[in-house]
Amino acid sequence: MQTQRLAQIMQERGVRRTPQRLAVWRLFAEEPGLTIREAVRALEPAGIGQATVYRSVKALEGAGLLLGFPAPRGELRYAAVLDHVHLLVCERCRAVRRLHECRLGGYEAEVEQKTGYRVRGHTLVVYGLCPRCREGGEP
């Protein structure tokens, strides 16, 4: 995913750009749907300490560059995002796709009006089976 735009966004949001954070973000961009712990293990060989991974995930999530979503078994998994996206998650093999269309603007406005809340955003995760798992093939 666009490393260019990533740098820009980090700058804008006051998130310091370090090699470690870039590595963390890139990992979640290449393999969306990892848990933090899995990321720790994946980045260990690169010499990135576990505390750094935890801290980076928090920083990136706070800046809206990582999106967390609940997976079966009570796991919290993350995916790298740049703009607002919806996630499409395969329940079997955990493949994650990003859906770039969002037509919930009207829904948000309606919720604001009906509830008195000030809506700031939303997270939509769609669960299902990817084409391959759907056919009963290997994940």
Partner DNA sequence: GCATACCTGATAAATCTTATCATCTCGCGG
Partner DNA sequence: CCGCGAGATGATAAGATTTATCAGGTATGC
Q: Which residues make up the interface to DNA (CB under 7 A)?
A: 10-11, 15-21, 35-37, 47-52, 54-56, 58-59, 73-74, 76
d(CA 57, CA 1): 17
- Our CB check for DNA shows the closer of 43 and 87 to be 43
List the single partner that 137 binds among its own copies, DNA, none, CB under 5 to 8 Å by kind: none
The CB density around residue 78, as the number of other CB atoms within 10 Å, is 23
Tokens of 104: 């919930």
Query: Which residues sit at the interface with its own copies, rule CB under 8 A?
Result: 36, 57-58, 61-62, 68-70, 72-74, 76, 88, 90-91, 97, 99, 103-104, 107-108, 111-112, 115-131, 134
Strands 34-35 and 75-80: antiparallel
Residue 115 binds: one of its own copies, DNA, none (C-beta under 5 to 8 A by kind) = its own copies
Least distance in Å: CB of 86 to DNA? Answer: 24
Exposed, middle or buried by CB within 10 Å (0-12, 13-18, 19+), for 10? buried
Compare residues 16 and 100 and give the one whose CB is closer to its own copies: 100
Q: What is the nearest approach in angstroms of DNA to the Cβ of residue 34?
A: 11
Amino acid (1-letter code) at residue 47: G
Q: Is 128 exposed, middle or buried (0-12, 13-18, 19+ CB in 10 A)?
A: exposed
